[in-house]
Amino acid sequence: MERDAAEAFGGGLAVITGAGAGIGAGLARRAATLGMTVVAADIALDRAADVAALIEAQGGVAHAMKVDVARAEEMDSFAAEVHRRFGPVRLLINNAGIETVGFAWEIPADRWDATLDINIHGVVHGVRAFLPRMIASGEECWVANLSSVGGFGQMPIQTSYIMSKHAVQAFTECLALEVGLLDRDTPIHVCSVIPGMVRTRIFEATEADRGDVAVAHRTAMREAMAANGMDLDKACERIMDQMAQGKFWVSTQPRMTQMFVERRAAFLNAQAEPALAPELEPMFAHAR
């Protein structure tokens, strides 16, 4: 399907979770630039409101709403309110997520729960709350779930995050098959959005960090992102362009995705022992 983003997303309603910062905020701005009305949703209403205000200052249309994606009942109420106030949803981006670092056995139980609830259940709740209405609309629409190149890799000290992105990737693949079984004249596009290294604030220090290893790892990742990460606006433009073309695989850096996928396939085919990629070894000196 050869369409540019302005043709595909030149109108209609976009709902983006975790839109108060990072890739979510970038995608909200990009969707508005293309002509969509944007619902910028975040657990921090003030951050969502700042993004919505910026969009409106630039001539777009946006509304800030608060939602905790980890709570099923909140997502149900949120979806109902969005449809009551704004009508059918053309684009749903389940973006909300958090990064957690540290040895798996040192991360507190409540942080484990938060990471898996937001990163995995938040995606599931978003689909469950919105997709039935999208199906019933009979209109062409998009569901995009934020995976990661990490969804095809192994990374110590980021175990909970990597685990969550493997789960999101598997969920999205199965969801695409389920949607493909529907008897519809117009498509529902399911997209796995696979960011590589994009410059955001995801590795800023948090109160959840425990121990010197967690702090050192966040610092190392933050510095690597600053030095080698892709510009956020460029990444979001690429994401929207690929979604407009109806692609399932939506990558900010396709070559990076290809490298991770090929390594994963080789690892599984060989049933090899888990091992760090050689180029990553220096990044984990602080953990030894």
What is the tens place of the pLDDT at every residue in 62-93?
999 999 999 999 999 999 999 999 999 999 99
- The arithmetic mean of pLDDT across residues 206-232, rounded, is 69
pLDDT at residue 57 greater than cutoff 70? yes
Looking at residue 88, what is its pLDDT? 97
- AA letter at 79: A
Whether residue 222 is predicted with pLDDT greater than 70 in this model: the reply is: no
Is the domain spanning 5-287 CATH 3.30.70.260? The answer is no
Integer Cα distance of 82 and 95 in angstroms: 17
SS (H, E, C) 137-149: HCCCEEEEEECCH
pLDDT at residue 59, rounded to an integer: 97
Q: What is the pLDDT of residues 17-31, one digit of tens each?
A: 999 999 999 999 999
Phi/psi-derived region of residue 59, left when phi > 0, alpha when psi is between -120 and 50, beta in every other case:
left
Longest dimension (CA), the chain: 57
pLDDT confidence of residue 216: 66
Give the pLDDT band (50/70/90) at residue 139: very high
Predicted confidence at residue 286, as pLDDT, reads 65
Q: How far apart are CA 40 and CA 22, in angstroms?
A: 12
* pLDDT grade for 142, boundaries at 50, 70 and 90: very high
| Mean pLDDT for all residues in the chain | 91
Q: List Cα–Cα distances, 143 to 63, 113, 117, 189, 227, in angstroms.
A: 19, 25, 19, 6, 32
* pLDDT at residue 2, as a whole number: 73
> In the predicted model, is pLDDT for residue 203 greater than 80?
no
What does residue 11 show for φ and ψ, rounded to 5 degrees?
A: -170, -175
Each residue's pLDDT tens digit, 101-135: 889 999 999 999 999 999 999 999 999 999 999 99
Beta bridge partners of 198: 230
Q: What is the rounded average pLDDT of the residues 179-207?
A: 84
**Catalytic site positions:** 161
